[in-house]
């Protein structure tokens, strides 16, 4: 049994075949799904899916790309929902920055403010965080060490930066996705064995980051098997054990999952 701890099933690319997507995943042993709230525009769809399917949960937050649309009052309506399991995905993303120095400073400042507000909100509600980190390890580490509460969270889009392993002692987990199956993922493959076993969780980030051998196609939760197989290869533990271990880890972090 596997939990896909990060799949954007509220994305419009699943509008036409969501039942089949969930069915295919269940056939591959995926028992639960978490839709990370990234874009307030699709949050209503995430809630609709969580109310329709027992296996689907969601979180509430704003992705760094969308920082300018952050509005805690709007999100507040959804956060007390019985199936809202976390705050996020929030974080910092310095991959796509504007051109001028001045615009870069403004963008970074905005992303940090919005990230800090979500960290503090999670602490207040005693919910874990789903954190997106890209080209921003130093700043993310600083903000999480300074502000995060005891409920920790998961580092998604984990870009293999070893310095982030420090957060495992602050109840942070590491979301492993399709990148692990890529031929050019040397950095992640080197860091992977250093992640404590009890801090590993599985995520597809569907519809993005499709694992090998489906790269180029739309990603979906049924492909978690390919991520798990690669983890088995690198961990030297059996598939069944890896699946139950990561599932238990995911449930330990997201305590509202039933």
Nearer to Ni ion by Cβ, of 4 and 205: the residue is 205
- Shortest distance in whole angstroms from residue 105 CB to Ni ion: 26
x-or-dash pattern for Ni ion, window 199-228, by CB under 5 A?
A: ------x-----------------------
Restricting to residues 237-256, name those near Ni ion by CB under 5 A. none
- Shortest distance in whole angstroms from residue 222 CB to Ni ion: 17
Helix (H) / strand (E) element for 202: namely strand 200-202
Nearer to Ni ion by Cβ, of 4 and 107: the residue is 4
- Shortest distance in whole angstroms from residue 93 CB to Ni ion: 11
C-alpha–C-alpha distance, residues 182 and 139, integer Å:
27
Of all residues in this chain, which one has the CB nearest to Ni ion in the complex?
Answer: 205
Tell me the C-alpha to C-alpha distance, in Å, between residue 233 and each of 22, 107, 124, 198, 237: 26, 40, 40, 17, 8
Helix (H) / strand (E) element for 89: namely strand 84-93
Nearer to Ni ion by Cβ, of 182 and 232: the residue is 182
x-or-dash pattern for Ni ion, window 11-30, by CB under 5 A?
A: --------------------
Nearer to Ni ion by Cβ, of 42 and 235: the residue is 42
Tell me the C-alpha to C-alpha distance, in Å, between residue 60 and each of 72, 97, 98, 99, 215: 10, 24, 27, 30, 28
Query: How many residues make contact with Ni ion (CB under 5 A)?
Result: 1
- Shortest distance in whole angstroms from residue 208 CB to Ni ion: 7
Restricting to residues 99-138, name those near Ni ion by CB under 5 A. none
Question: What is the CA angle 14-132-17, rounded to 5?
Answer: 5
C-alpha–C-alpha distance, residues 215 and 226, integer Å:
12
Nearer to Ni ion by Cβ, of 107 and 205: the residue is 205
- Residue 93 binds to Ni ion (criterion: CB under 5 A): no
The closest of 118, 121, 110, 109 to 90, measured between CA atoms, is 118
Restricting to residues 167-206, name those near Ni ion by CB under 5 A. 205
C-alpha–C-alpha distance, residues 115 and 55, integer Å:
28
Nearer to Ni ion by Cβ, of 205 and 243: the residue is 205
Question: Cis peptide before 207, with omega less than 30 degrees from 0?
Answer: yes
C-alpha–C-alpha distance, residues 251 and 247, integer Å:
6
- Shortest distance in whole angstroms from residue 59 CB to Ni ion: 10
Judged by the rule CB under 5 A, the positions of this chain that interact with Ni ion are 205
């Amino acid at each position: 049994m596997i939990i896909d701890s990060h799949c954007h099933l509220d994305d419009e690319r699943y509008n036409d075949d969501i039942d089949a997507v969930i069915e295919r995943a269940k056939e591959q042993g995926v028992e639960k799904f978490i839709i990370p709230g990234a874009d307030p525009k699709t949050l209503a769809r995430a809630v609709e899916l969580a109310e329709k399917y027992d296996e689907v949960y969601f979180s509430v937050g704003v992705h760094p790309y969308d920082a300018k649309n952050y509005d805690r009052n709007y999100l507040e309506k959804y956060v007390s929902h019985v199936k809202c399991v976390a705050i996020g995905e929030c974080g910092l993303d310095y991959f796509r920055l504007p051109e001028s120095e001045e615009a870069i400073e403004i963008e970074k400042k905005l992303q940090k403010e919005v990230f800090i507000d979500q960290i503090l909100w999670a602490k207040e509600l005693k919910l874990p965080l789903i954190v997106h980190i890209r080209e921003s390890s130093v700043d993310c580490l600083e903000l999480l060490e300074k502000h995060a509460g005891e409920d920790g969270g998961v580092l998604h889009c984990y870009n293999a930066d070893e310095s982030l392993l420090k957060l495992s002692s602050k109840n942070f987990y590491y979301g492993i996705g399709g990148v692990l199956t890529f031929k050019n993922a040397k950095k992640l493959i080197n860091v992977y064995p250093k992640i404590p076993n009890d801090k590993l969780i599985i995520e597809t980030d569907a519809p993005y980051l499709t694992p090998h051998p489906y790269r180029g196609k739309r990603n979906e939760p049924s492909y978690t098997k390919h991520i798990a197989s690669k983890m088995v290869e690198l961990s030297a533990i059996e598939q069944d054990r890896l699946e139950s271990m990561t599932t238990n880890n995911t449930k330990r972090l997201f305590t509202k999952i039933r």
